[in-house]
Amino acid sequence: MAEIQLVDAHCHLDELERRGMPAEEAIAAASAAGVVQMVTSGDSPAENRRARELAEEHEGVFFTPGWHPSNGRAPSPAERRELRDLLDHPRSVALGEVGLDYHPRAQGPIWDPGEQRSLLRSMLELAAEAAKPVVIHQRDAGRDLLEVLDASPRVPTMLHCFSGGAEFAQDAVSRQLYCSFAGNLTFGSAAQLRAAVSVVPPGLLLLETDSPFLAPQPLRGRTCHPALVRLTASWLAAHLGVGLEAVAEWTSSTARALFQLPPP
């Protein structure tokens, strides 16, 4: 089989480290599976700094500093300045994760949706100011997300770990939003995602692991790492009735175009 080259458009190498898998090990496994580049995303100041270090230390690793809605508050002025500085780092390829999360939580009530939306608006302004794309986390908040995006400065936007059905995917595609699918696409229960992925054109379609979460079948429930994006790519190739090479080629070139990655 021809050698394939894949990109993992979204992972958390720092979280993987905390779960006992060193970045070196994850990167070596990825490269053995043909995963030549990966984007590791931060959700909080400490994670952003670790993501930056990992991108400085490893050639195929790029990073995105972010501020996850699960922080439950907006960044302070100093934290916002740090985000802005990280966006100017040569290995930083986008702002994110930022977004909206209205999913009920076991740990307590969700953060006020109005405050989440106002932070998202200000994060989109920050990305525009830095001329960087955004990586969006969205849970149970698709309509509000589109409303905020429609009313904000336009930057290239990736919906990470796409969730929703064909109709939401159409709404995303009509706005030229990039849709990135994670390993849950391969789950037997994911009829909605299967319908969604079928309406996303190759130029807007990316694959990610969201490592260490959401390991694709047949490894569901195990710790996910970037190499496993190959399983999701193989699944998608079979689903679409095309070769793995084709899926690898178009999802990688889409990721490179969005994040302006150098050739591997």
Do 250 and 202 touch, CB atoms closer than 8 A? Answer: yes
Is the CB of 211 or the CB of 251 nearer to Zn ion? 211
CB of 242 to Zn ion, least distance (A): 27
Smallest separation (angstroms) from Zn ion to the CB of 263: 25
Complex with Zn ion: residue 209 or 254, whichever CB lies closer = 209
Which residue matches tokens 């496994």?
Answer: 29
Question: Exactly one of 8, 14, 47, 210 binds Zn ion (CB under 5 A); which one?
Answer: 210
Using CB under 5 A as the binding rule, whether residue 14 contacts Zn ion is answered as no
C-beta of 140: minimal distance to Zn ion in Å?
A: 16
- Find the part of the chain contacting Zn ion (CB under 5 A) among 28-36, 179-187, 202-210, 227-235: 202-210
In the complex with Zn ion, which residue's Cβ is closer, 8 or 233?
Answer: 8
Work out how close the CB of 65 gets to Zn ion at its nearest, in angstroms, rounded to a whole number. Answer: 13
Residue (8 or 34) nearer to Zn ion, CB:
8
Residue 85 tokens read as: 């500085």
Smallest gap, in angstroms, from Cβ of residue 261 to Zn ion? 18
In degrees and rounded to multiples of 5, residue 90 shows phi and psi of -65, -20
Nearer to Zn ion by Cβ, of 37 and 244: the residue is 37
Q: Which is nearer to Zn ion, 71 or 170 (CB)?
A: 71
* Distance from C-alpha of 28 to C-alpha of 32, rounded to nearest angstrom: 6
Q: Please report the sign of the dihedral spanned by the C-alpha atoms of residue 246, residue 252, residue 258, residue 263.
A: negative
- Distance in Å, CB of 2 to Zn ion, minimum: 30
CA 8 to chain centre: 9
How many amino acids of this chain bind Zn ion (CB under 5 A)? 1
Residues binding Zn ion (CB under 5 A): 210
